[in-house]
Amino acid sequence: MEYISRRVSSPRPFVYRAIPLPIWLALISTAFAQSPPSTLGPSSDEVRVAVTRSAEKFFKDAPHAAALSIGVFKDGNSQIYNFGSLHRGERGGPSADTLYPIASISKTFTGTLLAQAVIENKVQLTDDVRKYLTGAYPNLEFDGHPIQLQFLVNHTSGLPFNLPDIPGNRPPFTPPMSAATLKMLSRYSRADFLRDLHAVKLTGVPGQKFGYSNSGAVLMSLVLERVYGESYEKIVQQKITAPLGMKDTTVSLNRSQRRRLAPGYDQSGPIHNFPPDIMQGAAGLKSTVSDLLKYAVWETAEDDPAVRLSHDPRLILTPEYALGLNWQILRKGGEKRIWQDGSLPGFLSFCVLFPQLHMAIVVLSNEYDPLTSKAFDAVGPSIAESIDPRSSVLF
């Protein structure tokens, strides 16, 4: 299975599918507690028009796409919009409680939880990761420099993109995996992960070189379990989702949630492979547009000390672009954009925050292929620029 965190070209040829797909729009408006709305902010109708226009363009540019769910927060008001067909080519669209795998947006939960553990004085960002592992891992250092916890969530740990580090499980994910490999990955456990972690060979000093790593985020989730004495899923619930009233953000699904889980598609049809639970802190969470918008509102406010810490630049890549604790950060023209996107076979996700503009946008889709990916990337920026032109400098 292609457990990808950044969208990469599909290894299979794209096939156009001429399926008529009317846009079925369901609009739900819900207000959350936040800063008072600006008297100069956009009206609900203006937001609706901007979102609908962006959705129409998305389906025009990716006519084979299935569902699209969008959440918008602006100046104290939150609204949810759903478009398309949940099952490709059929009537019946998504809703506010349709669940989608959110892929690498899961990493931001992991980064925020690490920040919370720091606030609670349970860990320090500079701790040697081996402090929280059982057994000896002499391989998790290079020339006497160990992997620090912060390196696991800013992609400088030096760990492989994925574990197991085998052909087909790293970019560019070609050729397609064999059925035997897919079966092995579907059963990949934490014991397997820790076994493979022992075999990792670092090639440079940790903390000095960017190298995107799902395995770093997975290891961070295992560290959090050791620190709190609970499963990663339980920690997410206790520290984030329960306090925010996010009832449908989870790794494992109950019966009701399984019924509401969106099917995934690519250019060849339905996707039946989902990441194993070991991907929890890297790409294992599922959520709804309703839940994820609550999370985005909380993160945008930056009232919580853990949220603020997770947004602090930890790795400066250019004068304008940096990484926090699994958040990407762009500062330009006196404005700031904080975001993360994600992809898994069959799914695309995007969450962007504009703390100074009191604005956040969440976009979820259950189709992943080259055309849809390109069209999807335009949705969030288009909405942001339409409802607050000050954001245009950040795209």
- pLDDT per residue of the chain (395 residues) written in tens, 0 to 9: 333 333 332 222 222 223 333 333 333 333 333 334 444 678 999 999 999 999 999 999 998 899 999 999 999 999 999 999 999 888 899 999 999 999 999 999 999 999 999 999 999 999 999 999 999 999 999 999 999 999 999 999 999 999 999 887 888 776 667 778 888 888 899 999 999 999 999 999 999 999 999 999 999 999 999 999 999 999 999 999 999 999 999 999 999 999 999 999 998 899 877 777 889 999 999 999 999 999 999 999 999 999 999 999 999 999 999 999 999 999 998 899 999 999 999 999 999 999 999 999 999 999 999 999 999 999 999 999 999 999 999 99
Structural domain includes residue 179: yes
The answer to whether 338 and 328 have CB atoms below 8 angstroms apart is: yes
- Neighbour count for residue 320 (Cβ, 10 Å): 12
pLDDT of residue 203: 96
Ordered alpha helix ranges (H), 139-178: 149-152
Ordered alpha helix ranges (H), 237-336: 242-244, 255-259, 289-301, 305-311
Structural domain includes residue 1: no
Structural domain includes residue 204: yes
Structural domain includes residue 9: no
Domain span at residue 186?
Answer: 26-394
Predicted TM-score (pTM) of the model is 0.89
The answer to whether 345 and 182 have CB atoms below 8 angstroms apart is: no
Q: What are phi and psi of 89, to 5 degrees?
A: 80, 5
- Neighbour count for residue 138 (Cβ, 10 Å): 8
Structural domain includes residue 385: yes
Give the integer Cα–Cα distance in Å for 80 and 69: 8
CATH of the domain at 114: 3.40.710.10
12: Cα separation from own chain's centroid: 24
CA distances from 96 to 30, 100, 108, 355, 384 (A): 11, 11, 21, 24, 20
Structural domain includes residue 119: yes
Return the closest-CA partner of residue 210 out of 251, 158, 266: 158
Number of domains in the chain: 1
Structural domain includes residue 239: yes
Structural domain includes residue 10: no
